[in-house]
Amino acid sequence: MTASKGRAKGTNRLPLLAQAGPVSLWMILFVTIPMLFIIFISFMTRGTFGGVEYTPSLESYQTMMEVTYFHIIVKSLGVAAETTIACLIVGYPFAYYIARKPPATASRLITLLMIPFWTNSLMRLNAWMLIFQTNGPVNNFMLNTHMIDKPITFIFTDGLVLLGLITNYLPFAVLPMYSSIEKLEKPILEASADLGATPGVTLLKVTLPLTFPGIFSAIILTFIPALGTYVITDMLGGGKVLYIGNIIKNQFGTIRNWPLGAALSVLLLVITALMIFIYSRFAKVEDMEVV
């Protein structure tokens, strides 16, 4: 009796297992296990030439509490926030513009937005370097038109790093907002206008709240990678402008302190989780528009 009941249950579960199984397996293999391993390493001791000695220690977390790390983290959060805000300010009208075009035009515009991304990001970063370098076109133009009498050092400054970050993450902000705005039904906006709302009020009270899921995924999709990036900051910052991503990368390279690198990565994980948690207080995570 019990055996047959068990079998019956088993057959019922098969479809579920077949559908969810591969995904779960994938997630466990490629997300959960590596993540647990990072957390594990962060509680170990560094080896002399890099690597990890399996002696438990809280040293990494103690180091992380030093004031200098706090400064770096605050600075990184600041730059990631600036990048995100700039991407939203530029990206929202842009997404709105595309979404209000007929579908054929819209898809063409989206393609245009994506085309730069078919080139390697290192090439794009090198292009910024060439444009802004001391004897590059920008400086030459300004010298020739007597706007300045000495070349300005643009490269290896915080400003150029920010520019690099914004241009790199803009599409990640535009796409989710586009898909949110596109779903917005025109009659709702017309109703708002009919009821006497000015376009400004409609934007603030109707459009923005209804497209909030798109905006929030735009925030997540720009803020989190901007916080963790090191390639952009390394290249445009010349190894002098350091953010948390560079510090983590250095731990696994020249500084050879893997546990500290792991501990800092755990911190990034916590920040990310916190952001998702905040979002879940406002709206359903399932509604998040991740194209």
Partner 1 sequence: MKKKLMAMILGLVVIFALTACGGGDSGTSGDSGSKELNIFMWSDYISDETIADFEKETGIKVNLSYMNDNADSVNKLTAGAGDEYDLIMTCDAYMESLINGGYLEELDLSQIPNSENINKAYWTEQNQKFCVPYLMNYIYVVYDKERCPIEITCYNDLIKPEMKGQLGSIDGARNLFPIALIALGYDPNSKEESEIAEAYEWLKKYNANVVAYGSTETNIVNGTISAMLTYDGNTAEAMAAMGDNNTLTVAPFKKDPVQLGFDLYVIPKGAKHMDAAYAFLNYITDAEVMAKNLVENPYSCPNDAAVAAASEEYRNDPAFDFDYKENIFFQEDVGDAIKIYDKYYQKLKVDTGE
Interface with partner 1 includes 183 (CB under 8 A)?
no
Write the interaction track for partner 1 spanning residues 226-245; mark x where CB under 8 A is met and - where it is not.
-----------xxxxxx---
The angle, 0 to 180 degrees and rounded to 10, between the axes of the packed helices 212-228 and 67-99 is: 140
Rounded CA-CA distance 148/154 in Å is: 13
Cβ contacts of 59 within 8 Å, gap of 6 or more? 45, 259, 260
Interface with partner 1 includes 267 (CB under 8 A)?
no
The one among 41, 44, 46, 216 contacting partner 1 by CB under 8 A: 46
Q: Minimum CB separation from partner 1 for residue 4, in Å?
A: 19
Interface with partner 1 includes 253 (CB under 8 A)?
yes
The one among 1, 5, 6, 49 contacting partner 1 by CB under 8 A: 49
How many residues are present in the chain?
291
Cβ contacts of 288 within 8 Å, gap of 6 or more? 176, 213, 216, 217, 220, 279
Rounded CA-CA distance 157/155 in Å is: 5
Interface with partner 1 includes 257 (CB under 8 A)?
yes
Interface with partner 1 includes 148 (CB under 8 A)?
no
Cα distances from 273 to residues 238, 245, 266, 269, 280, in angstroms, run 31, 17, 10, 6, 11
Query: With contacts defined by CB under 8 A, how many residues of the chain interact with partner 1?
Result: 38
Give the three-state DSSP class for 45.
strand
Q: Which residue has the tokens 């709206």?
A: 283
Write the interaction track for partner 1 spanning residues 96-135; mark x where CB under 8 A is met and - where it is not.
-------------------------------------xxx
Residues of the shown chain interacting with partner 1 in the complex, contacts defined by CB under 8 A: 14-15, 17-19, 21-22, 46, 48-51, 68-69, 71-72, 75, 133-136, 151, 153, 155-156, 237-242, 247, 250, 253-257
